[in-house]
Structure 1
Amino acid sequence: MALGGLLVIVSVLAYAYGAVQLGDRVQVLAVARPVAAGQAITAADLKQVSAARDSGVPLVPATDAAQVLGRTAVVPLVAGTLLTPSLVGDAAFPPAGKVTASVALKPGQYPQGLAAGARVLVYVSAAAPGGTEPAAGSSTAGGAVPARVPAVVLGVDLGGDGQGATVVTVLLDASDAPRLAAAPAGGVVLMQTSPGGN
């Protein structure tokens, strides 16, 4: 009887603990299938999931689905991603203050396995004086430090430009576009960063 009473007490405590934990969870929106940057979000792209309540992460409640439908993905979204307000934008793409750019890169100028949705730092070398390209084996012109431009990868075309280069399309700040456009051939290197940008 003592053992039976102990089991009852343990069961009650376990139920109470589970109830408390479930009470701290909410129904939020997640991505059900891959969504390309600039693509309008439909009901089929979304699903409801249970997530821990966290005031530091602004997840989109499942009850706000109507406010997300018809808006566009600001960056490529992979299945399973928990939706936050910063991941969706207005119908226009690219968003205000942003531009898209494509660069042809040789092996060694970008990390293997690079895919849409990755956050990268684009290191851009300045052109040498007189508009010439940097000398072979030199990553900068005159020893200058390359500019560092944060960006998000929109697409990776392994077929590339037909000359052995892979074409990577990125979303970046409009203010950084002239720097990237002025980069000499071979003067751009991509390095993938953590989701937080570090």
Structure 2
Amino acid sequence: MPFVALGGLLVIVCVLAYAYGAVQLGDRVQVLAVVRSVAAGQALAAADLTQVSAARDSEVRLIPAVQAEQVVGRTAVVPLVAGTLLSPQLLGDAQFPPSGKVTASVALKPGQYPQGLAAGARVAVYVLTNPQAGAQPAPPGSSATSGSSATRLPAVVLSVDLAGDGQGATVITLLLDAADGPRLAAAPAGGVVLMQTAPQGG
């Protein structure tokens, strides 16, 4: 009798598990993804898009597949790799850079940027006020003040040119707030350091 009861309980558990899985699999929606890599600033074409099935999640904003026609012609704000699910935050108007943003290139020596840095990475750009004095970047999350040694600017890496400027420096192109452009442009020689941040970090 105990084995019969245990067998019956096992059947009930299996049925409930199957029912739960069926509900979870059924609560899915068709959303848009890119089928190939798209560079930042590149306008999306119909051939770049595909429909995929994704679990419904109220906390994640994805673009429904029925809005494909509205997405064509929009610009990728950051580099997109094949398979990326599209969300409104990843797309800008059909122009680049987006309103309120600028692009800037900096030539950096080894040690001024993390190894393995690639397009799409979020970084903190530290503009040192006195690099010759050995100033160090402020801790992540801190704000620059009149007595601080560096100003922290959030940015996204658009490209990394390892060939660089022909003098041993790597040229890194950044997308950053328009208000931060003059600060970066005014950085002294050797006065810029990049630190990679978390995907959602500033």
Query: When the two structures are superposed, what TM-score results if normalisation uses the length of structure 2?
Result: 0.85
Q: Which residue of 1 aligns with 2:59?
A: 56
- Structure 2 CA distance, aligned partners of 1:44 and 1:194? 31
- Structure 2 CA distance, aligned partners of 1:109 and 1:65? 41
**Contact 1:139–1:187 (CA<8 Å) still a contact in 2?**
no
User: Any idea what the Cα deviations from partners look like across 1:32-87, whole Å, max 9, x if unmatched?
Assistant: 11100110111222222222211111110111111101111011111222110111
Q: Which residue of 2 aligns with 1:177?
A: 181
**Contact 2:135–2:150 (CA<8 Å) still a contact in 1?**
no
2:94 counterpart of 1:91: yes
Higher alpha-carbon deviation: 164-173 or 1-10: 1-10
Aligned pair count?
191
Q: Which residue of 2 aligns with 1:129?
A: none
2:153 counterpart of 1:156: no
User: Any idea what the Cα deviations from partners look like across 1:82-129, whole Å, max 9, x if unmatched?
Assistant: 110111111110001100000000000001110100000000012xxx
- Structure 1 CA distance, aligned partners of 2:78 and 2:104? 14
Equivalent position SS for 2:89:
helix
Query: 4+ residue runs of structure 1 moved beyond 3 angstroms?
Result: 1-15, 136-140
Task: Pick from 132, 136, 148 the counterpart of residue 135 of structure 1.
Answer: 132
- Structure 1 CA distance, aligned partners of 2:53 and 2:109? 43
Q: Which residue of 1 aligns with 2:201?
A: 197
Q: Which residue of 2 aligns with 1:46?
A: 49
Shift of 1:6: 7.7
Task: Pick from 96, 110, 113 the counterpart of residue 113 of structure 2.
Answer: 110
2:87 counterpart of 1:80: no
Higher alpha-carbon deviation: 44-53 or 163-172: 44-53
What is the identity, as a one-letter code, of the residue corresponding to 1:135?
Q
Equivalent position SS for 1:175:
helix
Quote the sequence identity (%): 78
2:26 counterpart of 1:29: no
Equivalent position SS for 1:135:
helix
